[in-house]
Structure 1
């Protein structure tokens, strides 16, 4: 048992390091506990050809300025991990690696954070382990025969690691579209079970789309503005790291597009009839973002070049005719299924009832927990569209650190 710390930060990814930066500026006595190595999720949940979707100049943590040769280029996950390690070292952040948190509890008004080697006691805890570390699969994944290898997007590395045969990618959001392209470029036969996911072009009106979305305020839209009618959050739209990827462009490369994967029935994989609607929705979502940016350019009086058609959006889709509604397992040749169906956070180690809801997910308002002194940083879509991605780290970290500072003034 150590002395009483001001704060324990759990997780040394971009969110945790960002919070630590502001805590250090406040002079807070704190520690950052990392289950393994700095940036562990970036090291272990990305495929070999993965590139960041945010350009280098928009992939910085608080206090840093870009001084590299390629501001609009895309970093690999290995380059970004090296950046995180450098960031922690340059700013002398108090990171403790190989310190997985086994239990978080409260005792006599203080938080107790237990690791295999120590128990830390603190006035406040910032949980920055994210909400993208526990893959979700539909229940019918259990109905697939054991002869078909199943893996989640976080476990996919490259086409050569898969068994010979065709691959079914389930989900056409950001990971699904990128992995489908990676597989087909490697010469694999690919089926893509699509979903109702948006799409973004890589460049628009002379600039990077991610930069336009940052400048225009598109990423600042509050969570309530884009919640689905069901109350669920939408998937991140399909965005290629260096070029536009669309369902149409994937089909032109040979990817066989299907409707939503519905399960297994009488020895066949069954798919819905929503493919046309999914293509249309992606087209419309791309157009919506462009209109938002157009409005910003006009209001700001910017001298941006006119819009140009993106070839990946203009190419005609090559769709199965007739549409494929089922594939017989015995004859379709599918040997692997890659689930790109989303993630949730794993918070089973939090032993504070008021901190977690019935689904095991954090109870919070804009990252501020219901339990006083408990904070959550890096949750996907926690308060705005940029919550949970690198470009949102600085703003969120400064806000949470500011709230924490006011709490410390009140209790000490």
Structure 2
């Protein structure tokens, strides 16, 4: 492709494809570059039994709507990839697969050079849609784990059968950690689960999928400024099962051994904080608060909904070791694998544009519109609201970023 493109979009996941759809509808010349296949992250960084936490009726791309027979069902990993592939085909989106971007630099004339392994493209605007959850984070203690224990990240986990025989220690009790711990336990593996203070969301409440209530209540539209902590950190997404409610107590009831937060390692021995009961209580209180907000919304709007009933996963008594396990010998416990579910950030080192990244080497932007003119970021976790970083944000995000690009092109 010769000449100067109006836009180069980097990444063909839901975020990049949503932007591409908006650009095509606006008549903006562009190309989408994808390092692997369409939806590569969903293909290669999700486990085999992965299901979406968001119901099918809301798992839709810009311009689409759900008309199936299972609106509150959970889409599988492979179904989602198929949906993205169909979206590209139906909308004739200009996706170039197998082309990894190695560098983005200014061209000295209000545009950018976009280099791949095989060519260089020139663009007036660049949309980085590679996501902010592609580089696993592990605590420093991981570097001192003995070599006989295999360490993997949540993005590397595929199934229980793919792991070596032995017990597994899952570290991190957010969405991925809880779902992986359950997947392993369901497969009959011995699981130790290092927990922390993270909220919890039921799968269903008062006759509906909870995410539908969250969207209707406006809780997913809460602005980032309202929930960011004084330290600048953002609380992790609550533990939520895709097919059913998952709680720390329900995991313990099926044999998962609950531990506190990982504190340190000395040789073969890991030490943990004695905070398991506190972590269970924190998640319980978080869930109860959310239920009250939904109840208030139902009452304020005079909505006819079934009465609240107890969720078995929430009321089952927790089986907490007494006294709490604060020391664990990895060898004598038979632990062969540790799965780190301790979060991700984005690798944007290849975006070599002044002011595009902050001191932390993460995107500098407001609502996806970069501090560097003509650079945009799509699909970032918690970029603007609670729904940012999920497909729930794709329509709003595409409208905002594409609208800004069109206005900028009109000024060049």
Q: TM-score normalized by structure 1? A: 0.98
Hey, what does 2:58 align to over in structure 1?
A: 58
Tell me how far 1:293 sits from its aligned partner.
Answer: 1.6
Mapped to 1, the partners of 2:185 and 2:409 lie a distance apart of 54
SS at match of 1:400: helix
Mapped to 1, the partners of 2:267 and 2:351 lie a distance apart of 42
**Which residues in structure 2 correspond to 1:213-362 (within 5 Å)?**
213-362=214-363
Mapped to 1, the partners of 2:127 and 2:292 lie a distance apart of 37
**Which residues in structure 2 correspond to 1:9-408 (within 5 Å)?**
9-108=9-108, 109-408=110-409
Tell me how far 1:266 sits from its aligned partner.
Answer: 5.0
Mapped to 1, the partners of 2:299 and 2:126 lie a distance apart of 44
Mapped to 2, the partners of 1:196 and 1:263 lie a distance apart of 18
Mapped to 1, the partners of 2:217 and 2:288 lie a distance apart of 15
The alignment status of 1:2 with 2:2, answered yes or no, reads: yes
SS at match of 2:7: strand
**Maintained 8 Å contact 2:261/2:273:** yes
Tell me how far 1:226 sits from its aligned partner.
Answer: 1.4
Worse-matched range after superposition: 265-274 or 25-34: 265-274
SS at match of 1:129: coil
Instruction: Write out per-residue CA displacement over residues 372-406 of structure 1, whole angstroms, 9 at most, x where no aligned residue.
Output: 11110100000000000011111111111111112
Tell me how far 1:132 sits from its aligned partner.
Answer: 0.7
Instruction: Write out per-residue CA displacement over residues 208-262 of structure 1, whole angstroms, 9 at most, x where no aligned residue.
Output: 1011111111100011121123211111111111110000100001000010011
Mapped to 2, the partners of 1:139 and 1:385 lie a distance apart of 28
Once superposed, what is the RMSD of the aligned Cα atoms?
1.1
Mapped to 2, the partners of 1:406 and 1:288 lie a distance apart of 42
Tell me how far 1:139 sits from its aligned partner.
Answer: 0.8
**Maintained 8 Å contact 1:218/1:292:** no
Structure 1: where are the runs of 5+ without partners? none
Worse-matched range after superposition: 160-169 or 325-334: 325-334
SS at match of 1:123: strand
Mapped to 1, the partners of 2:37 and 2:90 lie a distance apart of 17
Tell me how far 1:297 sits from its aligned partner.
Answer: 1.6
Mapped to 2, the partners of 1:372 and 1:357 lie a distance apart of 15
Mapped to 2, the partners of 1:140 and 1:251 lie a distance apart of 25
**Maintained 8 Å contact 1:34/1:96:** yes
Mapped to 2, the partners of 1:329 and 1:42 lie a distance apart of 32
**Maintained 8 Å contact 2:276/2:320:** no
